[in-house]
Chain A
Amino acid sequence: MMEGTPKNRIMDEDGIRRAISRISHEIVEKSKGTENLVLVGVRTRGVPLAERIQERILEFENVRLPLGLLDITLYRDDLSMIDVQPVLHETRVPFSIEGKTLILIDDVLFTGRTVRAALNALIDLGRPHKIQLAVLIDRGHRELPIRADFVGKNVPTSSRETISVCLKETDENEEVLLWEKL
Chain B
Amino acid sequence: MQWMHKDLLDIDNLTAQEIEHILQTAVPMKEVLARPIKKLPTLRGKSIALMFYESSTRTRTSFETAAKILGADITNFSVAQSSVSKGESLLDTAKTLQAMNIDLVVIRHTSSGAPEFLAEWLTAGVINGGDGQHAHPTQALLDYFTIKDHLGGFKGKKILIIGDVLHSRVARSNALGLKKLGAEVTFIGPPTLLSPEMKYLGVKISYDLDKELPGADAVMALRLQLERQQSGLVPSIREYNRLYGLTRERIEKTGKPTIVMHPGPMNRGVEIASDLADSVQSVIEEQVTNGVAVRMALIYLMIGGGTANVVD
**Residues of A that sit less than 8 Å from B by CB:** 71, 74-75, 79-85, 87-92, 120, 124-126
A83 and B41: CB pair below 8 A? no
Instruction: Tell me whether A91 and B304 are in contact in the complex, defined as CB-CB below 8 angstroms, given that A85-B3, A120-B41 are known contacts.
Output: no
B305 and A80: CB pair below 8 A? yes
Complex interface: chain A residues within 8 A of B31 (CB): 90-92
A115 vs chain B, min Cβ distance (A)? 15
Say yes or no for B27: interface residue by CB 8 A criterion. Answer: yes
Complex interface: chain A residues within 8 A of B304 (CB): 79-80, 85
> How many angstroms from the CA of A124 to the CA of B42 in the assembled complex?
13
A95 vs chain B, min Cβ distance (A)? 13
Complex interface: chain B residues within 8 A of A120 (CB): 41
Binds A, one of B32-40, B106-114, B169-177, B178-186: B32-40
**Residues of B that sit less than 8 Å from A by CB:** 1-3, 24-25, 27-29, 31-32, 35-37, 39-42, 70, 297, 300-301, 304-306, 308-309
Complex interface: chain B residues within 8 A of A83 (CB): 305-306, 308-309
Cβ-defined partner of B28 (8 Å) among A84, A89, A126: A89
Mostly, the B contact residues are loop
> How many angstroms from the CA of A106 to the CA of B111 in the assembled complex?
52
Complex interface: chain A residues within 8 A of B2 (CB): 84-85
Q: What are 14 A-B residue pairs whose CB atoms fall within 8 Å in the complex?
A: A75-B42, A80-B305, A83-B306, A83-B308, A85-B3, A87-B1, A88-B24, A88-B25, A90-B31, A91-B28, A120-B41, A124-B39, A124-B40, A125-B37
> How many angstroms from the CA of A124 to the CA of B29 in the assembled complex?
14
Complex interface: chain A residues within 8 A of B35 (CB): 124-125
B27 and A80: CB pair below 8 A? no
> How many angstroms from the CA of A80 to the CA of B306 in the assembled complex?
5
Complex interface: chain A residues within 8 A of B301 (CB): 85
Complex interface: chain A residues within 8 A of B32 (CB): 74, 91
B101 vs chain A, min Cβ distance (A)? 14
A90 and B28: CB pair below 8 A? yes
Instruction: Tell me whether A71 and B306 are in contact in the complex, defined as CB-CB below 8 angstroms, given that A120-B41, A124-B37 are known contacts.
Output: no
Cβ-defined partner of A85 (8 Å) among B36, B37, B306: B306
Which of A82, A87, A92 neighbours the largest number of chain B CB atoms within 10 Å of its CB? A87
B258 vs chain A, min Cβ distance (A)? 28
Complex interface: chain A residues within 8 A of B3 (CB): 85
Complex interface: chain B residues within 8 A of A85 (CB): 2-3, 301, 304-306
Complex interface: chain A residues within 8 A of B309 (CB): 83-84
The chain A residue with its CB closest to the CB of B306 is: A83
Complex interface: chain B residues within 8 A of A91 (CB): 28, 31-32
